[in-house]
Chain A
Amino acid sequence: MTETNRPKIRAQHVEVHYGDARALHGIDLDIHAHEVTSLIGPSGCGKSTFLRCINRMNDVIDGCRVNGAMFIDNEDIYGDHMDVVELRARVGMVFQKPNPFPKSIYDNVAYGPRIHGLAQNKDALDNMVETSLKRAGLWQEVRDRLHESGSSLSGGQQQRLCIARAIAVNPDVVLMDEPCSALDPIATAVIEELIEEIRSEYTIVIVTHSMQQAARVSQKTAYFHLGNIVEVGDTDQIFTKPGNKQTEAYITGRIG
């Protein structure tokens, strides 16, 4: 396996139980750097659960158990020596509903760098905030009101603020859990462009219910059904000639 071909994230037989119910039945999946992988499938199929395994957000849910192994850069993040705080600094996450903190726009973006001590002084922090907002395509709109509350922004702006907040800690991986489901088509288009622009610097995993979105933004697609991966491959191939009847039925809208 060459250096470029080695997967950034490798899931090996990942199983998740919520109490007695098994949500994931042993997922094996390789996710590569500098491309966008989309996870699609009907509601309740386990795609969000799998996404939350990648930064161990399932840890905070009562009664949730994860078995199997998840490697990021060949390191098992469920291993004994893994520091969850450090892991989440490397794996950023954007949620379904925009969730800016009840703080100013500036403080929202500066939050991550502050808790991880990334900036040496005020100028460096200013710089990080500006860079992150620019990368999230929000700088032009908010540069004059950085000290207004983050919740004063529109829904689409709030979601870009959350993306800026996530990339401000300079993660390797960005997880997005249906980031556009609460947004209108124009705001969605802006976010999709943004994903395309930043993908060369990150490994992006996105959960989406929109087939068009998966087709537009991702290079790889994995189709989940009832806690299993049914099919995974290049997005072009999955959407033009799916190898599996179930996948075809789902993406053409006959089930799901």
Chain B
Amino acid sequence: MSLTFLSISILVLGAYSFLFGRRRVRRLSAQIDIKQHSLDGYHGAFVMACVVLPAFSFAVLWSGFAPLIINDWLREFIAAGSSALTNAEVNVLVSKAKALQAGFINERFVGPNTVEAADYFSGLLEMSSYLRAIGTLALALVGFYFSQKLIAPRFAARQRVENIAIWVMIGASAVAILTTIGIIFSLIFETYMFFQQVPVLDFLFGLHWSPQIAIREDQAANPGEFGMIPLFAGTLLITFIAMLVAVPVGLMAAVYLSEYATHRLRNFAKPTIEVLAGIPTVVYGFFAALVVAPLLRNSGADVGLVLSSESALAAGIVMGTMLIPFISSLSDDVINAVPQSLRDGASALGATKSETIKQVVLPAALPGIVSAVLLAISRAIGETMIVVMAAGIAANLTANPFESVTTVTVQIVVLLIGDQEFDSAKTLAAFALGLVLFFLTLILNVVALRIVNKYREQYD
């Protein structure tokens, strides 16, 4: 039974049990003259929750874990079938058996062992699907039987439903938290594997980055160097240029919008600026590569500067443009949150509008503005598409914005494009870079939050 059909069945069962629970409590209440504890709908919802939630969780968990177990069994089956197979050969046979089962390849092109494995695999899949359907429906029926027995006029269905709702919420947040933890652990694990092959200090403090190592013995390539300093220097250079663009422009736009603009203009201008934030970064990327970079190179040539066609400057400027709405929108919100009484106080002392803004409004809004800037920085550090297209992939260690540089994110992309071996240093380096990047943005975010909380003035 397919998962779709199974889900629909559970939902139909759930709808029926809602109606059933509601009708049942009405009938029971009609027979005796006591005040019913909860509204009819709560009784229905209680029965429905008892039918749907366990059955659905079971189906999801089974669908998640069964393929892993089946895969293991298939490997064992193949490995047992013919001795003296290497790990890689087993992997190939597993893929072939699966492809055969799915009908992607023809029986004529594989050996008899593989056909046998495919049959075995197909049998396992069928059984798994069968067991899943039985288990799910059985759980639904058990839930139905026991919950409908509880229905009575004085049964506290409202409390039960509230409690179930709490657990559903907890489950939802647990999914998010567990996912994060899972990602971090996988990053840490793969990074550990990487450091088995490349010394930690070489990675953290090395000045050269050339990861194009051989992934097969017969390939000719250099031994590979994994020093991350050039990448981080490139990231910081581009982030710095982006902030030089985004912070002044975004901040002044925010001040204009919140302090000077008329109501009508503000209602028009703010959404318009925020449209900038909705443009996909890949569009910014080719805009940077096809428009801004040539423009800079040509105007650089006019004044005698030599710019490479892919430069940190082009990427930084376009990234800064992308971040303008980010900074202006957040800053506008915090500036608006500064109470009018402070502005009145300053102007009653004879301060002009710009004095009031500079000396009273902006200092009061500063924590919010600082955190907006820090959040923008962490976006800039994590940004990939623009730099892939506009800044290049050559790992130059330079502070010259006219040269081509590369960033951590770009190198992660480069590392994972093309042929990969999961246990090669080249692939694992991506995880190490990812982990360092994760810590960098995590620290920035934590600092931003701390600043906001520490310096927030309490206005009531």
Contacts and interface: CB of A to CB of B under 8 A. Distances in A.
B345 A162 contact: yes
Given A85-B350, A112-B350, A102 B364 contact: yes
Query: B interface, by DSSP: helix, strand, loop or mixed?
Result: helix
A225 interface: no
Which interface class (under 10, 10 to 19, 20 to 34, 35 or more) fits B?
A: 20 to 34
Interface in B328-370: 339, 341-352, 355, 359-360, 363-364
B341 A99 contact: yes
Given A85-B352, A95-B341, A151-B457, A101 B347 contact: no
B43 to A, nearest CB: 51
Nearest to B365: A102
A147 to B, nearest CB: 15
A111 interface: yes
Contact of A101 (B352, B364, B458): B364
Contacts of A97: 341
Contacts of A115: 349-351, 355, 359
Contacts of A55: 348
B374 to A, nearest CB: 20
B263 interface: yes
Interface residues of A, number: 28
Contacts of A93: 348
Interface in A107-124: 111-112, 115-116
Given A115-B355, A151-B457, A101 B348 contact: no
B290 to A, nearest CB: 45
Contact of B346 (A86, A101, A116): A101
Contacts of A151: 457-458
B345 A99 contact: yes
Contacts of B360: 101-102
A166 B344 CA distance: 12
A243 B343 CA distance: 41
A62 interface: yes
Nearest to A101: B360
A112 B346 CA distance: 8
A93 B348 CA distance: 6
B350 A88 contact: yes
A57 B348 contact: yes
Contacts of B347: 57, 60, 88
A130 to B, nearest CB: 18
A88 B348 contact: yes
B396 to A, nearest CB: 45
A101 B355 contact: no
A166 B263 CA distance: 31
Contacts of A169: 349-350
Interface string A86-104: 1111001101010111110
Interface of B: 263, 339, 341-352, 355, 359-360, 363-364, 457-458
Interface of A: 55, 57, 60, 62, 84-89, 92-93, 95, 97, 99-103, 111-112, 115-116, 151, 162, 165-166, 169
Given A84-B350, A86-B350, A89-B349, 9 more contacts: A57-B344, A60-B347, A95-B344, A99-B341, A100-B345, A101-B363, A102-B342, A102-B360, A102-B363
